[in-house]
Structure 1
Amino acid sequence: MSVWDAIVGQRQAVEQLKAVASGDPKAIAQSWLICGPPGSGRSNVARAFAAALESPDHGLGDEPTRVSRQVLAGTHPDVAVLATDKVTIGIDEVRGLIATSEQMPSTAPWRIIIIEDVDRMLERTTNVLLKEIEEPSEHTIWLLCAPSAQDVLPTIRSRTRIVSLAVPSNQAVAAFLEREAGVEPRLASRAARLAEGHIGVARLYATQDRVLADRDDLVVGVLGLRRASDAVLLAGNLIENAQGQAKDDVDRQAAEAEADFRRVNGLGEKDRIPTALRGAYNAIAKKDELRRRATRRSRDVLDRALNTVASIYRDVAVLQNNAEDAVGLINLENREAITELSVRLTRAGAVERLEDIAVARRRLNGNGNPTLVFEALFCALIA
């Protein structure tokens, strides 16, 4: 298994980065911007590229080297990754990375800095980063990740080499789920179709029954909207499900962190935490931090819900324009109800509802009250 095997549906980008990693070190650009839509795997591409740059075999071997495994696991001392659950990346975090970037690598050819979601930086934070991107330290490579080049300030964009990722095909995502997660073919195919090329969401649908069931309920609920009371009930159920999914996710992460802590410190599942380790143990289970993660996860679930609702009206538009043979339907399981809706709605009506969903997304991103946002949206969708 090479360092690139976990990259799904990005053959052109992988071949480009392979050639760079195995080429003349003096010719390697030191500032990169890896762009791709949500779920395209841009962070994984950045990590694989970093592993190839640091590894003695340049990532070309059939099996990852010890260096590659360290980079991919996030434990290599010369590769720093900034990922955040916050809405924005803080200026102090970036200043810390800049200080790190100026240090010589300890064991590898490069000191590599990966920043996920660089589009979450405010302009003043980006300005702090700008000088380092323009004139990196001699042995430092910056790998920035964003949904698109347009999501990054022109001053950063113009100083980086851009790698653009595609939306993975359903077939590629399904094959990945079968290979990496052991998902049976029919479920893998369905999860890939419903996720619309988003690898992470596809994995959720394929491995977490609750997430897939909640999506199914949402589609049925939207297709069944007839009265304002239906809209209010559906919005309430959606918010409740989002909070439940977020809590499950955070609880699972907290349990994994606690298990890792006990394993590293030689403690059994029910052993009492020694006094000397109590402070470190409490640090991994901060209630405020867990609450913040749950809020962020809940917003992610609601954003995914908007994509699901949009997929319904996308399917309506496909049927209205006789384009099913060309592009297919996303919600095949609900084809009959979607066909009925495509008859009740005009083409303009379908477009108006997609615009209503875009308005709801802007309101949600602007910290609007989620319940009110979805109540208003579902009322607007009533045919």
Structure 2
Amino acid sequence: MTVWDELVGQEPVVETLRGVVADPAGPTHAWLFTGPPGSGRSNAALAFAAALQCAEEGCGDCESCVMAAAGSHPDIQVVRTGGLSIGVDAARDAVRRAALHPSVGRWQVLVVEDADRLTDQAANALLKSLEEPSPHTLWMLCAPAVEDVIVTIRSRCRSVVLRTPSASAIAELLVRRDGVEPQLAAATAAASQGHIGRARGLARDPEARRRRVAILQIPARIGHLGDALAAARQVDEEAASRAAARCDVADERELDALKSSWGVEDRGRRPAGYAGALSSLKKEQTARRKRMARDAVDGVLLDLLSFCRDVVAVQLGAAHAPADLVNADVAEQITGQARLWTTEETLAAIDAIVRCRDGLEANASPLLALERLMARFVPASA
């Protein structure tokens, strides 16, 4: 198994990157990996980084490849954020790391996940290193689209564009890698809409599948405005609860680590500077919790969007069989909704979901944005 095997449905990209790894002239110093969510942008960057460090061009079995896969390779640094943005401090740390000589590998590789989240200050901090790179340093930036990265940075990067993997390719990966039963793999791959991580989560977690079915039932459950407000509140509360479940343990662990590093005990005086460090940590944790809750809400919106897509496909005669639907497991419900809504109402619902996602991206209150959306599902006769 090579480092490239996880890149599902990206054969042209793999061929290009393999060629670069084999080229004696060496790689360009800066790369920009773009593609839709779930396409494997960071996976492609990390596979490329591992192959460049490997004497066998990405064999997957040597010590270098094993360390890269485990995230412990000393010359592959990943810059990521749990918050809403990547700040200037993280960018400066990466720039300092980029100036170091590789310790065991041939390159010092910096992989910046979500480069579209770089603040202006952070982007400017990276720019100097991209303009005057160290001879053994490679930058690999990841973002949804080229336009999401400022022009001064993207103009200095070689672009690698990933595509949305097919449902069949994702299903094959789930069967081969995770041992998922083929029928379940096919259903979850279709429901994921090309998002590999989401497909794997649905395949491995029965609760996630139950939650998805409940989300798809929301339009049919809304009979009046009170139902709409209740549905919005439920989605918001469940998103916050899921974020808390993931963040509480991490928050406590980070707080303990901070106390330990500053020599702070539960009772006693705090060293000078500790209050500022604690305040910064709390701010980062709040941002991470907010982002995870927002991402959970966005997942709900994507499910509703796929449901409405299926409804309009039925209404326009584009879906001739359940297999033509994204959500084939709820085909009967989709057909019923197609009879209740007009095509114009379905398209208006799709537009409302898109506006809700845009509002969340612009930092609107999730609850208010959801209430406005759910009100759109109230029947005209109510």
Q: Under TM normalisation by the shorter chain, which class is it?
A: 0.7 to 0.9
Work out the CA distance in 2 between the residues paired with 1:52 and 1:160: 19
Q: In the alignment, which of 365, 368, 374 is matched to residue 364 of structure 2?
A: 368
Deviation at 1:13, TM superposition (A): 0.6
Partner of 1:228: 225
Question: Which of 325, 337, 348 does residue 329 from structure 1 map onto?
Answer: 325
Which of 354, 359, 365 is matched with 2:355 structurally?
Answer: 359
Q: Which amino acid aligns with 2:156?
A: R
User: What amino acid maps onto 1:45 in structure 2?
Assistant: A
Task: Report the Cα distance in structure 1 between the residues aligned to 2:265 and 2:34, rounded to whole angstroms.
Answer: 37
How far residue 325 of structure 1 moved from its aligned partner, in angstroms, is 4.6
Q: 1:1-383 maps to which residues of 2 (within 5 A)?
A: 1-24=1-24, 26-59=25-58, 61=59, 63-250=60-247, 292-325=287-320, 328-383=324-379
Question: Using a 3 Å threshold, how does the CA distance of structure 1 residues 92 and 293 change in structure 2: closer, same or farther?
Answer: closer
Answer with 137-146 or 288-297: which moved more: 288-297
CA contact (8 A) 2:314 2:320 kept: no
Deviations 1:132-173 (A, max 9, x none): 223311111110000111211222222111111010111111
Counterpart for residue 269 of structure 1: none
Shift of 1:320: 2.0
Please list every run of 5 or more consecutive structure 1 residues that lacks an aligned counterpart in the other structure.
262-272
The Cα of 1:85 is off from its aligned counterpart by: 1.1
Cα distance, 1:200 vs structure 2: 1.0
Contact 2:311 2:337 in 1 (8 A): yes
Q: Give the C-alpha shift of residue 252 in structure 1.
A: 7.1
Structure 1 outlier segments of 4+, above 4 Å: 251-255, 275-283, 286-292
Relative to 1, partners in 2 of residues 1:203 and 1:252: Cα closer, same or farther, differing over 3 Å?
farther
How many residue pairs get matched? 363
Q: After alignment, is 162-171 or 349-358 more displaced? A: 349-358
The CA distance in 2 between the partners of 1:281 and 1:191, in whole Å, is: 48
- Render the CA deviation track for 1:100-148: whole Å, top value 9, x for unaligned: 1112112211111110000001233222222322331111111000011
CA distance in structure 2 between the partners assigned to 1:336 and 1:281 by the alignment:
60
Q: What's the C-alpha RMSD, in Å, of the aligned pairs? A: 2.7
| Superposed displacement of residue 180, structure 1 | 2.2
The question of whether the paired residues in 2 share the 8 Å contact of 1:37 and 1:147 is answered with yes
Which one is further off, 341-350 or 153-162? 341-350
TM-score normalised according to structure 2 size = 0.87
CA distance in 1: counterparts of 2:28 and 2:213, whole angstroms: 46
Q: Which moved more, 1:329-338 or 1:50-59?
A: 329-338
Which segment drifts farther, 104-113 or 130-139? 130-139
- Percent identity over the alignment is 37
Shift of 1:204: 1.5
